[in-house]
Amino acid sequence: MNSDQVDPGEVALLREAFGVDDGGESALGWAAVRAFEAEHGVVLPEPYRTFVAEVTDGSYQGPCEFGLVGLAEGGGKQRLGEPFPLTRMWLWEDDDGGYEQPDAVIEQVARDGSIVLGTDGCGMDWHLIVSGPHRGHIWLITGEGAAPFGAEFGHTTAEPGFAGWVRHWADGREWFDAPPA
């Protein structure tokens, strides 16, 4: 996963997975993406950055049960310049994670350094991390906890990052398809 350089093959995969063939009409364009980044003090990770600029800004279909939300909707109210606070799974329903003020960290998890990509309903939201050590990774954030997505973190056989997340969905695989450890 390289969140700084776009891989044309990944962009082609994303275009095909979402079935977008409108010549970029549903995309934001580079000027709008750069304006969003300047307003929020971040550079979006690739290939998501190129995806919203050249392919589409949201879709009624997608890895999220209720579709992929547009950039402004998913990131407009977030504090994107603040680093996402986690680097490992945390089920706050079960423990305090070793944090002195766990409720404050839980609030940061939902708001800081991530764009909401969409929801599976019932408070299960998929986030793209845009700042902090996990920049470029996808996280599932629920009312009970938060977990990173990708084979390196367990629970799934998928590649990490936006393209790996979309590829896993496009292949029709279950989200948590890794054999139990």
Question: Strand order in 146-149's β-sheet?
Answer: 114-119, 125-129, 138-141, 146-149
DSSP state of 166: H
Partner residues linked to 146 by β-bridges: 90, 141
Per-residue model confidence as pLDDT tens digits over 122-154: 889 999 999 999 999 999 999 999 999 999 999
Backbone angles phi, psi at 153, to 5 degrees: -105, 0
Read off the pLDDT of each residue in 162-180 and give the average, rounded to a whole number: 91
Written as six digits, the tokens of 139 are 């996280």
- For residue 32, what pLDDT is reported? 97
- Domain ranges, ordered by start, for the chain: 8-170
Residue of 146, 153, 171 lying closest to 63 (CA atoms): 171
Cα separation, 55 vs 81, in Å, equals 25
Cα separation, 177 vs 168, in Å, equals 10
The domain defined by 8-170 folds into: SMI1/KNR4-like (3.40.1580)
Judge whether 161 and 127 are in contact, CB under 8 Å. no
Residue of 30, 22, 13, 44 lying closest to 159 (CA atoms): 13
- For residue 108, what pLDDT is reported? 94
Residue of 11, 127, 118 lying closest to 58 (CA atoms): 118
Per-residue model confidence as pLDDT tens digits over 24-41: 788 999 999 999 999 999
- For residue 30, what pLDDT is reported? 97
Written as six digits, the tokens of 81 are 């310049």
The predicted model scores a pTM of: 0.93
The yes-or-no verdict on residue 98 having pLDDT over 90 is: no
Banded model confidence at residue 159, pLDDT cuts 50, 70, 90: very high
Banded model confidence at residue 23, pLDDT cuts 50, 70, 90: confident
